[in-house]
Structure 1
């Protein structure tokens, strides 16, 4: 163990950072695109089911095929890996945002509008806070998946912990496979718990308690 860290310690730190960076970039892009899109789709439910089904079809395409598809367009490296992972992040976040917003009690929303809230204010102050648990469930699920799938970035020179895994498979070295697998698992657990804490802090009960304490 000590010999491994002496030989690969710096590389392990760099690969772990690359893995985290690729996963985080894809997840943030997914949130920035899927959450607003889910809100819009909640206003057009007839179109929403077809569109979400289409995104679901994209999820069935093998990840390696998507990675290979973007190579002629954006080359190799981290960019095509982030784009491919971004596509895979969309469905859980989009579907949960749509369901969360759709299932908010319409009576509560109408009461807010009756008090003078605009549509935008109703979304920001009522619909989004009330649907946070459902939206965050989609983000957490997507994040854990992305951290696992980010290992495939190694196939196209994107770096990350997948380099260790595939080197270990090619060289028949279990220590390299473990060096890629264990940190990725730890990253997924830390990300999930961190998002759970963020979810708790953003729920209406937590927000009201913090406001009362202030």
Structure 2
């Protein structure tokens, strides 16, 4: 294993950076999309129910099947990888964003309106900051989940550590096949831990002191 890593460490580090970058960028995009949708629907019970149902049903879709379907219109490469990772990342964030916004005490919103805040200002200055810890929990759950999904998208020649896993599995029993799989899996786990620590730090920095747990 040491020899395998020593001969390929540059390639491994580059693939790790690609993997981390793909997940991080898709996570940011998914957070923006999910929070935007949550803001649009959380006050309407019917729309909130539909959004939650879509979130639940979406998580049952096999990522391997979805990437296979997207290869047809988008071909191989980065595009289907970004779509799949962003799609799965947005689902837990959407659910948590709706829950977080719905759990805000109505009296707090009324107080903000009472001092002359507009609907938009109340949302940005009061509601979203209060809901942020719940939203961030969804982001952390998404980060762990899509770190593994990002490995699957290598089937479509997307970037990341999944290439090591698929290469090893394709020649299982051959030279360095096990080392290749172990490298990919271990790398994904390590990156997931690193990203979670980063998100934990972001949460500490961005959560108002008065609502920190």
For normalisation by structure 2, the TM-score amounts to 0.92
Query: In 1, Cα distance between the equivalents of 2:210 and 2:178?
Result: 45
Superposition deviation, residue 6 in structure 1: 3.0
Superposition deviation, residue 207 in structure 1: 9.3
**Number of equivalenced pairs:** 208
1:29 paired to 2:29? yes
User: Mean alpha-carbon deviation: is it higher for 124-133 or for 54-63?
Assistant: 54-63
CA RMSD of aligned residues (A): 1.7
Aligned to 1:14: 14
| Structure 1 residue ranges, 4+ long, deviating more than 6 angstroms after superposition | none
Aligned to 1:93: 93
Conservation of the 8 A alpha-carbon contact between 1:76 and 1:157 = yes
For normalisation by structure 1, the TM-score amounts to 0.91
Query: In 2, Cα distance between the equivalents of 1:123 and 1:90?
Result: 20
Conservation of the 8 A alpha-carbon contact between 1:22 and 1:78 = no
Aligned to 2:187: 183
Secondary structure of 1:5's counterpart equals: helix
Secondary structure of 2:158's counterpart equals: coil
Secondary structure of 2:91's counterpart equals: helix
Aligned to 1:212: none
Conservation of the 8 A alpha-carbon contact between 2:55 and 2:92 = no
Superposition deviation, residue 2 in structure 1: 3.9
Conservation of the 8 A alpha-carbon contact between 1:112 and 1:122 = yes
Query: In 2, Cα distance between the equivalents of 1:170 and 1:149?
Result: 19
Conservation of the 8 A alpha-carbon contact between 1:201 and 1:207 = no
1:133 paired to 2:117? no
Superposition deviation, residue 206 in structure 1: 6.7
Secondary structure of 1:127's counterpart equals: helix
- In the TM superposition, what whole-angstrom CA distance separates every residue of 1:77-119 from its partner, at most 9, and x where no partner exists? 1210110111111211001001001101110111011001011
Unaligned regions of 5+ residues in structure 2, if any? Answer: none
Conservation of the 8 A alpha-carbon contact between 1:200 and 1:206 = no
Superposition deviation, residue 182 in structure 1: 1.3
